[in-house]
């Protein structure tokens, strides 16, 4: 019998990351798998959402985003990212960075188009390509610094290349792309007439004094870049589903059409609260970095003490580890045995690679957790592995 469901959906499986969260709940484990905080979202932002609901901001917002939020996004992007942004011409508010990415790809891709993706990659980008009809071309980031080979990158560009996806700070590796690297990528985008789609959802979570560089701020790139970010990570509100993308006016027009027919719009009262949150002062962002720096060091010590080889992240809130010194099991078996019976949930490395066997000696830990959660996880790791 022929399949009742589309070939397109058969092309990808269920999200491994989200599956690990479900298994974790079943095993009463400590969830260091999926990238979401287990601590409260900012009080002032929550109060703003309550006020908006009580003020009856409960009907559809403008499809491409409430004016207040688009203005706040434009101001932040113009100042923090050095990317001149107009609230009316360039900003589309979406249901998370996730929807922004798929809307951007659907706005750009024609059959036969290729999209370059750095590997390991955030697992959504693979299905995003399948859903939008793009053919992915993978370019390797190599440990320990997760740098790319410039010749390999240039070889991936060609007549069919429509876009390149950049993610900085990078999930899963914690790499922060340097200005030099982004200038090189920009030169290839210009040479081959390619659009950069840059996922900067972790743009404020940087360590060791590193600077965030948006590729749209590099000369010649403003007119060929789609910059994506959102509330989920910096404002610890992954469940609100508020994200946005910034693009040149013609591309914004196409993205808004896709977005309108996919979702109509993001939650109206939460957009009002997000507009206030984006105007938090500088101390909010410096405290965020301080608290994540402490969490990084607790988890890093626990992992090093228990035999993992650790790749210290420069940004975002994940640690990639090699498990070769600990076990002969592959990543999935190791992750499942570490999680069983109240253990620790991680993400098997194979979910970040096109060819799963390339990730079979890797697991990823998330440290967007309360200190007590991280300390409890450290105790379990020491009991089971040290
Ligand atoms: C690189 C990256 N992009 C996007 C997302 C999802 O963002 P949002 O919650 O805004 O859809 C995640 C979440 O883990 C991520 O790691």
Once rounded to an integer, what is the mean pLDDT over residues 241-270?
A: 98
Task: Please tell me whether the overall predicted TM-score, pTM, comes out greater than 0.85 for this model.
Answer: yes
Report in angstroms the alpha-carbon separations of 302 from 10, 33, 205, 321.
39, 16, 21, 12
Ligand 1 center to 295 CA (angstroms): 20
Is it true that 7-41+283-385 and 59-277 share their CATH fold?
no
* Beta-strand runs (E) in 4-150: 30-31, 91-94, 114-119, 135-140
pLDDT tier at 9, thresholds 50, 70, 90: confident
Q: Whose CA is nearest to atom 16 of ligand 1?
A: 171
pLDDT in tens, 37-90: 999 999 999 999 999 999 999 999 999 999 999 999 999 999 999 999 999 999
Does the domain at 7-41+283-385 match CATH 3.90.1150.10? Answer given as yes
Residue 256 or 11, more confident: 256
Which parts of the chain are beta strand (E)? 30-31, 91-94, 114-119, 135-140, 161-167, 195-199, 225-230, 243-246, 309-311, 318-322, 344-345, 347-348, 362-366
Residue 275 burial class via C-beta count within 10 angstroms: exposed 0-12, middle 13-18, buried 19 and up: buried
How far, in Å, are 39, 75, 80, 186, 234 from residue 279 at the CA level? 21, 9, 12, 30, 13
Alpha-carbon torsion, ordered 344, 348, 351, 353, to 10 deg = 140
State residue 44 phi and psi, 5-degree precision: -60, -35
CA of 205 to the centre of ligand 1 (A): 13
| pLDDT tens by residue, 91-101 | 999 999 999 99
Q: pLDDT digit string (tens) for 146-177?
A: 999 999 999 999 999 999 999 999 999 999 99
- Per-residue model confidence (pLDDT) at position 386: 75
Beta strands 362-366 and 318-322 are antiparallel
Percent of the chain at pLDDT exceeding 70: 100
Q: How far apart, in Å, are the Cα atoms of 119 and each of 140, 281, 359?
A: 5, 35, 10
Strands 30-31 and 344-345 come out as: parallel
The architecture that CATH gives domain 59-277 is: 3-Layer(aba) Sandwich (3.40)
pLDDT digits (tens, 9 = 90+) for 126-150: 999 989 999 999 999 999 999 999 9
pLDDT in tens, 323-332: 999 999 999 9
Peptide bond into 169 cis (omega under 30): yes
Torsion angle of the four alpha carbons 229, 235, 241, 243, in this order, in degrees rounded to the nearest 10 = -20
Query: Hey, where are the domains in the chain?
Result: 7-41+283-385, 59-277
* Ligand 1 atom closest to residue 17's alpha carbon, by position in its atom list: 14
In degrees, rounded to 5, the angle at the alpha carbon of residue 301 between the alpha carbons of residues 295 and 302 is 90
pLDDT at 1: 58
Q: What is the pLDDT of residue 323?
A: 97
Out of 94, 123, 124, 263, give the residue to mutate to test ligand 1, the one with the largest number of ligand atoms within 8 Å of its CB.
124
Write down the mean pLDDT value for the chain: 96
Distances (CA, A) of 157 to 120, 150, 152, 190: 18, 11, 9, 11
> Which pLDDT belongs to residue 80?
98
Mean pLDDT of 174-181: 98
pLDDT in tens, 308-319: 999 999 999 999
**Across 218-246, average pLDDT:** 98
H-assigned helices in 264-370: 268-277, 282-305, 331-339
Q: What is the pLDDT of residue 303?
A: 97
pLDDT at 363: 97
β-pairing verdict for 91-94 and 114-119: unpaired
Binning pLDDT at 50, 70 and 90, where does residue 10 land? confident
Residues with CB under 6 A from ligand 1: 35, 96-98, 122, 167, 171, 199, 201, 230, 232, 238, 243
What atom in ligand 1 is closest to the CA of residue 95? 11
Both tokens of residue 189? 């985008």
């Amino acid at each position: 019998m022929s399949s009742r469901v589309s070939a397109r959906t058969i092309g990808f499986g269920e999200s491994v990351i989200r599956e690990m969260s479900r298994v974790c709940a079943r095993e009463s484990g400590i969830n260091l798998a999926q990238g979401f905080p287990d601590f409260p979202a900012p009080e002032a932002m929550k109060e703003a959402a309550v006020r908006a609901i009580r003020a009856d901001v409960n009907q559809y917002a403008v499809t491409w985003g409430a004016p207040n939020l688009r203005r706040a996004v434009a101001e932040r992007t113009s100042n923090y990212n050095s990317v001149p942004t107009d609230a009316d011409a360039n900003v589309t508010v979406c249901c998370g960075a996730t929807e922004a990415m798929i809307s951007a790809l659907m706005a750009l891709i024609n059959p036969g188009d290729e999209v370059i993706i750095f590997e390991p990659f955030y697992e959504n980008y693979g299905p995003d390509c399948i859903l939008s009809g793009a053919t992915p071309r993978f370019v390797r980031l190599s440990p320990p610094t997760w740098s790319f080979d410039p010749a390999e990158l240039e070889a991936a560009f060609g007549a069919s290349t429509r876009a390149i996806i950049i993610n900085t700070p990078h999930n899963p590796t914690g790499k922060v792309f340097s200005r030099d690297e982004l200038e090189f990528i920009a030169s290839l985008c210009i040479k081959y007439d390619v659009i950069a789609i840059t996922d900067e959802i972790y743009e404020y979570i940087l360590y060791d004094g590193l600077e965030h560089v948006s590729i749209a701020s590099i000369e010649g790139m403003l007119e060929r870049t789609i910059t994506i970010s959102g509330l989920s990570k910096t404002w610890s509100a992954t469940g609100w589903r508020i994200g946005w993308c910034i693009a040149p006016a013609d591309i914004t027009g196409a993205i808004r059409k896709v977005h309108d027919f996919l979702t109509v719009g993001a939650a109206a009262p939460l957009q009002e609260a997000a507009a206030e949150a984006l105007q938090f002062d500088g101390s909010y962002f410096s405290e965020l970095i301080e608290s994540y720096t402490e969490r990084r060091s607790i988890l890093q010590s626990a992992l090093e003490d228990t035999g993992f080889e650790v790749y210290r992240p420069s940004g975002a809130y994940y640690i990639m580890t090699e498990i070769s010194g600990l076990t002969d099991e592959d990543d999935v078996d190791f992750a499942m045995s570490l999680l069983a019976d109240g253990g620790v949930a991680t993400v098997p490395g194979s979910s970040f690679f096109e060819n799963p066997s390339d990730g079979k000696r890797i697991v990823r830990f998330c440290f967007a957790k309360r200190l007590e959660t991280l300390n409890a996880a450290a105790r379990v790791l020491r009991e089971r592995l040290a």
